Structure 1
């Protein structure tokens, strides 16, 4: 789920780290790295990974209250309550540590204090009234249903990716692996240097698909606005390499761009309507399928003389002229 960037929890377990890719913040010394985390989780009662951090006894709670009142973690928590709209899930807003910090922030901001929301199917009228006094609006529904409704709405507006598109990416990755291994085993760079451009094109495609799947649990690629921004970024990057006539990077990033474009298109059409992505490439021809590649490129080293000369220079410079395969390093 995109847009849920910062998480606050009193739980000790590693759920948010494992399921959502969140970065835990437990100690005061963690705070200087807050801005480096794409999805931080502030664990105000400690973490199971750090036994000395766990808050369980009365004495622990007293020390925790002091840390949150005067320490760096408490300062972060106060800033969140003061500047962000928070949604509470599976939480009754009765924890004393929370209330002390929350009320301090609310009192300081006065009428400018943010309104927050608590989602629970078990909120009574009495509880709802208590929450209103805290500037917290109760939403009486199941948290899972609440999140699913938001996500379904955002998917319908083409803002969030459909979950099944990651399966399409996985299928294409397997196809790209197979094509890449078969192709790179079919030639030697020293004998057919012009073919390395298709190999690195496939590297780019594979790396893009791997990254999409690796970060699927973080929600980063579920945000289609982010994906479209990445597509625009790589289009501009490729245009820059075209001006430089850098065919090596053109090949790699054209493949990387294909992975992003395939993922975006998968959200608009069904698997049956998806056109088969071209798995081969040459700077002199562009993106093509395997049959056309075999017919037009395989045995025609001179199809693009500048690209051929560059391929020979790259192989010579890298010392890979006699290697079985040459690869482009992953791009992050």
Structure 2
């Protein structure tokens, strides 16, 4: 075979190989084998793709099933059937009869729980697990409570409780985990066991703690045709206090601030040394110097605050403008002319 014939055979073999390679590449592209997220990217024949050179692949979106097979549904995904303990599958819900009992529901499964003795469940929000004092919660429809756990001065382990002895109306106990602390109401007030706070005797309405039981005072009967709606009267036993007779017949004890007494003529509080009948009321409790300081308190000293610095403002003080010697000389020559 001559040299020309040999060259022609090589050309034919190369052309055939090239045609086979192109055909395989097109077939691979038609199946999406070498196509990435970029439509202009191609991989040449004879060079298998590498993950390092391929463009990032976009994840295929997953289509949600329109109907989940019953065999694969979870308990939370099924249509929930409310129960007495768990109206909803999750949350905290009160017991229907006992005010200090509640249920923690998880996926419709209730777990019974109890508040600390003396506390009741706050059913304001099912997403909050909270126990509160009974004064703040309406327990009329579920009045049952757990068995009390009493201790000294504490009928229950937690809460506010009145004094055990009848007639002691202005003192009560604050109990925490069975430990008590005795508290005294402000002057003129008595403990209200229904609210857990101190109030006026005529409003509390506790037997033995009404106005006529607590105060050694009765509002005088007024025969005047035009009477004051809420007249004031001095306390006969204490210059610092006085009584306000609500609507003329319900006494409420009030007091003046330290250093003052009630002036019956003016029906108002004034400094003790200005009221002759009670000028010496604080003689054994306050010195003349202390009374002077109460009557004429020293003015409070105020400090001048530095104005706030504007953000971005320089902390450096502005420097005086520098004047060059030549400039000064020129200015002096101009003045001489």
Report the TM-score, using the length of structure 2 for normalisation: 0.20
Relative to its length, the structure with more helix (as a share) is: 1
Report the TM-score, using the length of structure 1 for normalisation: 0.21
Relative to its length, the structure with more strand (as a share) is: 2
